[in-house]
Amino acid sequence: VIGKLGIIGAGSVGATVAVAVAARGAARTIVLHDVDGPRAEAEAEDLQHGTPFIGPVAVHGSADPRDLAGCDMLLLAAGRKQRPGQSRLELAADNVALCRQALPVALEQAPDAVVLVVTNPVDVVTYVADQLAGLPPGRVFGSGTVLDTARLRVLLAHELGLAAPSVHASIVGEHGDSELALWSSATAGGAPLQWWLAEAGWAGDRLDHLLNRVRGAAGHIIGGKGATSTAIGFSSARIIEAVGHDERAVLNVSTAHDIEGVGPVCLSLPTIVGRHGAGPVVDVPLDDAETAALRHSAATIRAALDAIPSSLAP
């Protein structure tokens, strides 16, 4: 269990992470920190009033970074979100600037914290946060494609008529439009996905269609309710739990990699998550198409990093 969790940004995402963490008993104390103090206080108060129904957790909200002192884990969820039709990468310059301002202040209060970045574009912001913090590899990492992987498992499970926990299929690469599915290693109920496809007589483009639905899920939800928050809340809580329990759970989180022909980027691969953060990755075999798609995804992230104004570049 995490002793003290600091959530930077008490908007839709930060507040929902707090609810999910409290409900799962993943932290003993949660501090919601936001430049908008009244909002942080209100979210904390609202959650606190629900704690008699879920278990003992202390919740505190404020705009004072000193309240983050001694946090074992920090979660960065502050920043601009996509407007309908906008790509995550369009948020890069603004949210990188925010990260450069907010993260050092928080780390000054909690220098030993494991840092989980959720702010979008998560791979770009994680890269900058990692460079800025200068902590041991994996102490700063991003939520990456943990959420996208959950989306794929839910969609695939529905198609196969199975429960999502019985379906194992990964989304890797960018948390964004260039992400890819590792179909070649996907399994359901212990049988390779290829066996299920043959059994069901699926057409070849059915998997492409599923991947496109995963890629389009955030846009679809933002079109309807203005933001995504519930599933990112639960996926972040799952990651926090893996750190708090030193689980060595394999999750598709975003960490630094040097990709051949592209250079250094943060992107998601199946990665071991435990007390000290994320790493090493599990070297899942990729087929040729997956290797090419991963390189393309890395190049997309690298281009977004290269486009950051030099005054903000890491």
Ligand X SMILES: NC(=O)c1ccc[n+]([C@@H]2O[C@H](COP(=O)([O-])OP(=O)(O)OC[C@H]3O[C@@H](n4cnc5c(N)ncnc54)[C@H](O)[C@@H]3O)[C@@H](O)[C@H]2O)c1
> By CB under 6 A, is residue 43 in contact with ligand X?
no
Q: How open is the CA angle 175-181-83, to the nearest 5 degrees?
A: 30
Question: Are the CB atoms for 271 and 56 separated by under 8 Å?
Answer: no
Q: Which single residue is written with the structure tokens 């008490």?
A: 10
* Exposed / middle / buried, residue 276 (Cβ in 10 Å: 0-12, 13-18, 19+): middle
282 DSSP assignment: P
By the rule CB under 6 A, 173 interacts with ligand X:
no
Closest to 306 in 3D by CA, of 129, 124, 41: 124
Q: Does 21 bind ligand X (CB under 6 A)?
A: no
3-state helix, strand, coil in the chain (%, to 5): 45, 20, 30
**Burial of 38 by CB count in 10 Å (0-12 exposed, 13-18 middle, 19+ buried)?**
exposed
**Chosen residue from 2, 5, 7, 13 binding ligand X by CB under 6 A:** 13
Q: Minimum CB separation from ligand X for residue 198, in Å? A: 33
Question: Would residue 175 show up in a list of annotated catalytic residues for this protein?
Answer: yes
Compute how many other C-beta atoms are within 10 angstroms of the C-beta atom of residue 280.
11
Q: Say if CB 24 and CB 51 are below 8 A apart.
A: no
Q: Does 254 bind ligand X (CB under 6 A)?
A: no
74 binds ligand X (CB under 6 A): no
Tokens of 148: 């996208």
Q: Which of residues 120-139 bind ligand X (CB under 6 A)?
A: 120, 122
Please pick, from the candidates 30, 74, 133, 232, the single residue that binds ligand X as defined by CB under 6 A: 232
Contacting residue, 143, 170, 252, 255, with ligand X by CB under 6 A:
143
Select from 208-216, 227-235, 241-249, 268-276 the region that touches ligand X (CB under 6 A): 227-235
Does residue 54 contact residue 22 with C-beta atoms inside 8 Å? yes
**250 near 271, Cβ under 8 Å?**
yes
Q: Segment contacting ligand X (CB under 6 A): 72-80, 182-190, 206-214, 289-297?
A: 72-80
DSSP state of 161: T
Distances (CA, A) of 100 to 41, 78, 144: 24, 12, 19
The residue from 119, 252, 255, 297 that contacts ligand X (CB under 6 A) is 119
Q: Quick check: 251 binds ligand X (CB under 6 A)?
A: no
Interface residue with ligand X among 102, 107, 243, 253 (CB under 6 A) is 102
Q: Which of 1, 24, 28, 35 binds ligand X (CB under 6 A)?
A: 35
Give least dist CB 311 to ligand X, A.
Answer: 17
Q: Considering only 28-36, 160-168, 206-214, 242-250, which stretch makes contact with ligand X by CB under 6 A?
A: 28-36
Q: Does 8 bind ligand X (CB under 6 A)?
A: yes
CB of 6 closer than 8 Å to CB of 74 = yes
* 253 interacts with ligand X by CB under 6 A: no
Cβ closest to ligand X, residue 10 vs residue 188? 10
11 binds ligand X (CB under 6 A): yes
**Options 60, 175, 209, 296, the catalytic residue:** 175
Residue 269 lies near ligand X (rule: CB under 6 A): no
Does residue 302 belong to the site contacting ligand X (CB under 6 A)? Answer: no
Using alpha carbons, list the distances in angstroms from residue 124 to 14, 155, 241, 281. Answer: 19, 27, 24, 19
Binding residues for ligand X, per CB under 6 A? 8-14, 33-36, 39, 77-82, 91, 95, 98, 101-102, 118-120, 122, 143, 147, 175, 227-229, 232
Residues annotated as catalytic (active site), given as ranges? 175
